[in-house]
Structure 1
Amino acid sequence: MPKVSVIMPVYNMERYLTECMESVLNQTFRDIEVICVDDGSTDRSPSMLDQYASADSRVKVIHKANSGYGHSMNVGMDACNGEYIGIVEPDDYIKANMIEALYRSAVNYNLDMVSSNYIRFYGDSENRIFQSCTVTDQLSLYNVVINPYDKRDIFCGNFINPAGLFKRSFLKQYDIRHNETPGASYQDIGFCFQTLAFSRRMMLVDGAFYCYRQDNPNSSILSKGKMHCVIEEYAYIYRRMREHNAELGSFQPQFVSEKTGSYIYTLQRLAPEFRKEFLCLIGNELVEFRDRGELDVSVLSDDRKKILYQIMENPQKFYDMFMSFRQEIHEKLAQYENAVIYGAGLIGKRIYDEMAEEDRNKVKGFAVTVLAGNVENYHGIVVREIDDYMEERESIAVIVGVAKRSRNAVTGMLSEKEFRNVIVLESLGVNI
């Protein structure tokens, strides 16, 4: 029997499959099996997987009709024989020592699960941009055995399931599965919450091994159907908490915190025409939770509590505030012919996405302090260092697109560089 089983759920991934499979099969740790679950692919993925299975006995391929990510993952888990289970998405790849590093820690400390930092990347192999991502900034949480029941701030970590390994007997003991909703959106949330909440021995390894693609055009986008997916995923977690109240009941504050964060994130990314309906849906749901005495907000920040209460009290009013963001951008840009957005991360991109077409046409680019580690363009809009715009500092508008905690530092830096037209969006706090 293999020491580690790697599940790879595949749907139409011929473009990326070779790099992914080669990274798994060329691990320094050889005692693995690779369970590839073909979810009814219509491209060359099935034949490519079969070729790998013919060439390497460690590869097993399961072909099935298309049924979604959650079902594919559960089919893969049922086929596993390894002591530990890992997950690799077919558009990503892993460093050669990933499984060895994680498995050694898992065995040495008898862990239910082990996780690690990871690397986001953009672009093809010749022009790739990498960004290191940490699960947590608390260095004391790395390389030590953690009991999430006692150390609950671990739930604030930026986990991704593929950056870890999970003991198969642990998953079976608590029947930890993926929610089998259609498509490939949000089913990883329930699995992540369950593994953390049920685990009593876990570890964060201080290393980054998993390379997580950010520019796959086939990745999920947040259309109307996605808003129902996120609601259903948290309904699934809630049902699991009720079924296992003894083990999970006390994690209600963490559940409310994660759900609130996911709902806000989904709202930010939904197409504008679906936002009002989504706010009404989650507003009614949150009121029901409150009326049952289950809306424990004890670990929410004051800002998150404020947003939560506003949505519950008056979804329409919150929608109007939320949508005022676009109007504020338009009004503040009216007197300028050209603009640049400082910040090429989630917030800067969010500002660009919210702009009306006539305002987008004014944006010459995104600006960052140092280009290294940042994407080179977004929707064809170039990312440059802020100093590249110095000659235009008298006339160009600079929209500050960074997190609230960084805004004072950024506006101070822009002032020192004598940029005259700095725009800070007042409604950004509602939206980010």
Structure 2
Amino acid sequence: MNNMEYKISVILPVYAGEDTLPQCLDSVLAQSHQNLEVIIVNDGSPDSCHEIIDDYAGADNRVIAIHKENAGYGAAINSGLSIATGDFIAIVETDDWIELDMFERLVEAYQLVPNPIVKATFNRIQNDGVLNTQSLKHLTHFDENNIGRVVPSESVELFLLESSIWTGLYKRDFLEDNLIRFYESPGASYQDMPFKFIAYSIADEITLLDVPVYNYRVLNEGSSSASSDKALISFGNYDVIKRFLVESDRFPTFVQAFYFHHMFDLVFHASRLKDQGLKQYLAKANSVFDEAKLDGFDVDNASFSPDTNDYYYNHVLPLYKSLISEKTVAVKQKRASIRRKLVEKARLICNKLIVDPVVATLSSSLNSAITKNSGKLVSRINELEHGHLSTEIDRVSDLISQRDLYDSKRSDASVTLMVAPTNQFHYYIRANEKRISILRDEFREGLDEFSLLNERKLFGLYEILPYFEHQGLELKLPLSTTLFTDEDRLILSNLEVIMNKQELDYAHLDLAELPITLATNYFKSGIKYLPDSIPETFKGKLALDCGAWVGDTAIMFASFGFEKVVAIEPMLDNYNCLKRNLERNKQYLGDVIEPRNIAVGETVETLSMRKVGDDGVGSCIVEGGSEGSIKVDSVSIDALVSSEYENGDVGLIKFDVEGFELNALKGAEATIRKNKPVLLISVYHLWLQPEQIFDCKRFVKELDLDYQFKLVHLQPEKDLIYEYMLVCW
């Protein structure tokens, strides 16, 4: 492909700025590289920008005009990204202008050193004169063409550059494949920063061009970006970045870059804010850097290039220390102190395999319904915490930190997983490819990066299933496949060790027949992903556990202080096991859990169900009944609540009813509208109801109750198909 064959989609977000817009557009349309798609997004400009944009669109067929209501800088650029068709994406801000050979130079740099991001430098303009020019020479070596390359994971200084997303080109397929979009926070508050940070952290290498190709007008002192409100909003951007880094297992790699970026921003904002605005900003910043100390952020041993070192140690660090109190951060508990010393992955494994299951089982002592027995149980918890648990945490810490758990260079390493009969869904996807693609796009709307990763994993597994040999329900997969996260590999390559250890950990608990480590953690993980304030609202409310199986989740739900947990299980074998488990743990649970031997659906009716498996009997609903099917009575949640729990305030409903989730949701509409409870919806039964994952989210969204969504996947102690859950709050 020669230079001109590369098509560049140039996105220009516009809000006001009628005086500078023509100069900017002229500089873009006059580029020596003419293969352009110029997408101008008018974000509700209150001035004459609307007319200017339409004039340019009428005069040049490369211009696409989008006029929309004001929704902010990030939303404007995302509107452009959603329709872009070029090989590259460029972003130009309309109070700036670009050199006439900018895109030609960037494409040539890409052809010489092809990487998904090509970044150049820029001139700072003040009063129409060049104030100074940013240099990139401190980042790497540049050749005779002023081209260099940098590895983001090895360069903190790369992240300390001004966001300057507008000096580069981004491969569009790189952005699409990694679902990189702008954070749509209010206003225009530094939304380029999360985009820059996330894109850099994903790229293995970046191409640099040490040539100024962009002219950036320096903000006036009175700019709205200097306000305290804008500065405080910037903390939300950092929350977005950290959440992405943690959930993609990148935080340990980029922890120093993250906090140094935060630190340089602190100094920048502190020099611009005054009075109450500065006080509010510093209060928030102190909280952030308390957390930074716990994460291992080291301010005293930084090593940058000579110029940056001089600026850092003579200006940034002294000002940082004068602004941030040097108070000692209290360690909340011994267990947290131990886990902080481990790598991020080890901390997660310790929490998942030891702390959460025991707390989920035993913390029912905190339930108001069992206050009378709290002394005995608290004593037992303390005994476990200070005797058994600390020893076990040390053991797992040593196991994970000392043992070669998984050698990523071993491409032959594989694992045999139990999977559901899923080939038919693969062929269903193929037969309905275009429609499924549209449905997936709709499903992904509003999901965060963590949820999007799980969505890709789920559908990715269905895509590859037919290409692997497997018999019955077993499938052998190489651990090197990209479907696995690092955490998946850690668990799966040590599954026998972990499962044996779990068996020992729970041997002292009176929980016979209760598979506490799988389904309980699955639904607990849903609650854990809720905002911290929401579980506090459960106290005194009603929980409905639809698909209670053998009581595992009902017992866990009881620990959150619900006045009543209604455990609904239609299969008699499971129901009898549920009752035995409640009886065995009655001394801790009291009567807070009420078991019901019924099914839930859209109406009061009789359903036909079939047993699946022998390990705590699973089940599925079958159409019309057949030989071997079991007839069960079904009731809608609305009918159940209105007739028997009319005065109950429903705080949570769990739906795990084997592909019948949409029907059960429809039968709960009035209850959901009245109470807006947290909804935990299993959406993995795609071989039973191929589109229920889409239908369930659409149903909840169309209730128009402002629900937020998260797609959660239990880590693969069993397999990669089961245990996908839509968390709605």
TM bucket normalised to smaller:
0.5 to 0.7
Check if 1:206 corresponds to 2:210.
Answer: yes
Which residue matches 1:70?
A: 74
Would the aligned equivalents of 1:176 and 1:195 in 2 still touch at CA under 8 Å?
yes
Task: Name the SS for the 1:30 alignment partner.
Answer: coil
Q: Does 1:134 align with 2:135?
A: yes
2:234 maps to 1:243: no
Write out per-residue CA displacement over residues 309-332 of structure 1, whole angstroms, 9 at most, x where no aligned residue. 5513369xxxxxxxxxxxxxxxxx
* Offset of residue 280 of structure 1: 1.3
2:260 corresponds to which of 233, 257, 260: 257
Shift in Å at residue 307 of structure 1? 5.0
User: Structure 1 length normalisation: TM-score?
Assistant: 0.66
Q: Which residue of 1 aligns with 2:183?
A: 179
Give the direction of change, closer, same or farther, for the CA distance of 1:176–1:136 in structure 2 (3 Å limit): farther
Q: Is the partner of 2:271 in helix, strand or coil?
A: helix
RMSD value over aligned CA atoms? 2.5
The 5 Å alignment of 1:88-167 reads 88-124=92-128, 128-138=129-139, 140-141=141-142, 143-158=147-162, 160-167=164-171
The whole-number CA distance in structure 2 between the counterparts of 1:229 and 1:54 is: 38
Structure 1 residues 193 and 288: alpha-carbon distance in aligned structure 2, compared to 1, 3 A threshold: same
Is the contact made by 1:198 and 1:248 (CA closer than 8 Å) also made in structure 2? no
Name the residue aligned to 2:285.
282
Q: Could you say if the C-alpha distance between residues 280 and 248 of structure 1 is closer, same or farther in structure 2, counting changes exceeding 3 Å?
A: closer
Is 29-38 or 266-275 further displaced after alignment?
266-275
Q: What's the counterpart of residue 85 of structure 1?
A: 89
Q: Deviations over 1:22-63 (max 9, x none)?
A: 000000000011111110011110111111111111111111
Deviation at 1:237, TM superposition (A): 0.8
Change (3 A) 1:221 1:145: closer
Q: 2:102, 2:214 within 8 Å by CA — same for their partners in 1?
A: yes
Asked if the contact 2:266/2:320 (under 8 Å) is kept, the reply is no
Q: Deviations over 1:285-319 (max 9, x none)?
A: 3223434x35354537556556555513369xxxx
CA contact (8 A) 1:34 1:58 kept: yes
Instruction: Please give the residue correspondences for 1:55-66 in structure 2 after superposition, counting only pairs within 5 Å.
Output: 55-66=59-70
The unaligned stretches of length 5 or more in structure 2 are 304-311, 329-729
Which range moves more in the overlay, 235-244 or 107-116?
107-116
Deviations along 1:248-278, whole A, 9 cap, x unmatched? Answer: 5311011010011101211111133321221
Mapped contact 2:118–2:169 kept (Cα < 8 A)? yes
> CA 1:308–1:216 in 2, change beyond 3 Å: closer, same or farther?
closer
Amino acid at match of 1:105: A
Matched, 1:31 2:32: no
What amino acid is aligned across from residue 250 of structure 1 in structure 2? T
Distance of 2:222 and 2:22 partners within structure 1? 17
Find the aligned partners of 2:263 and 2:221 in 1 and give their Cα distance. 27
CA contact (8 A) 2:183 2:237 kept: yes
Which letter maps to 1:244? S
Structure 2 match to 1:337: none
Q: Pick from 266, 269, 274 the counterpart of residue 271 of structure 1.
A: 274
Any idea what SS the aligned residue of 1:258 has?
A: helix
Counterpart amino acid of residue 134 in structure 2: C
Structure 1, unmatched stretches of 5+, are 316-432
Which residue does 1:295 correspond to in 2? 297
Contact 1:230 1:263 (C-alpha < 8 Å) held by counterparts: no
Q: 1:86 to 1:226 in 2, by over 3 A?
A: same
Which shifted more, 224-233 or 154-163?
154-163
**Offset at residue 15 of structure 1 (A):** 0.6
How many residues were matched structurally?
Answer: 310
Q: How far 1:130 moved relative to its partner? A: 4.5
In structure 2, the CA distance between the partners of 1:217 and 1:146, relative to structure 1 (3 Å rule), is closer
Query: For 2:45, what is the secondary structure of its paired residue?
Result: coil
Contact 1:184/1:220 (<8 A) preserved: no
Deviation at 1:161?
0.9
- 1:96 Cα deviation from its structure 2 partner: 0.6
Distance 1:180 1:39, change over 3 A: same
Which residue number in structure 2 is paired with residue 231 of structure 1?
Answer: 235
What is the alpha-carbon distance in structure 2 between the residues aligned to residue 219 and residue 177 of structure 1? 25
Instruction: Give the Cα–Cα distance (whole angstroms) in 2 for the partners of residues 62 and 43 of structure 1.
Output: 16
Q: Which amino acid aligns with 1:7?
A: I
Change (3 A) 1:248 1:171: farther
Select which of 12, 17, 22 maps to 1:18. 22
Identity %: 31
Q: How does 1:317-332 map to 2 (within 5 A)?
A: none
Runs of 4+ residues over 6 Å off in structure 1: none
Kindly name which structure, 1 or 2, has the bigger radius of gyration based on alpha carbons.
2
Q: Which residue type is aligned with residue 234 of structure 2?
A: V
The 1:260–1:121 alpha-carbon spacing in structure 2 relative to 1, beyond 3 Å, is: same
* Cα deviation, residue 145, structure 1: 2.8
- 3-state SS of 1:185 partner: coil
Q: Name which of structure 1's ranges 32-41 and 192-201 shifts more when overlaid on structure 2.
A: 192-201
Give the counterpart letter for 2:171 in structure 1: K
Q: What amino acid sits opposite 2:297 in the alignment? A: L
Match of 2:555 in 1: none
1:3–1:32 CA contact under 8 A, matched in 2 = yes
Deviation of 1:20 (Å): 0.3
Of 185, 199, 203, which residue of structure 2 is paired with 1:195? 199
For 1:84, the aligned partner's letter is: F
Aligned with 1:205: secondary structure?
strand
Per the alignment, in what secondary structure is the counterpart of residue 281 of structure 1?
helix
Which digits, 9 at most, give the CA deviation of each residue in 1:90-142, with x for residues without a partner?
A: 01000110001001212342211111121111225xxx445322234456155
Counterpart contact for 1:123–1:215, Cα < 8 Å? no
Q: Do the aligned partners of residues 236 and 22 (structure 1) sit closer, same or farther apart at CA in structure 2, a change above 3 Å counting?
A: same
In structure 2, C-alpha distance between the alignment counterparts of 1:276 and 1:219, rounded to whole Å:
20
8 A contact 2:140–2:150 mirrored in 1 = no
Partner-residue secondary structure (3-state), 1:106:
helix
| Aligned partner of residue 149 in structure 1, secondary structure | helix
Contact kept in structure 1, 2:150 and 2:206, CA below 8 Å: yes
Residues in 1 aligned to 2:261 and 2:130: alpha-carbon distance in whole angstroms: 29
| Match of residue 312 from structure 1 | 325
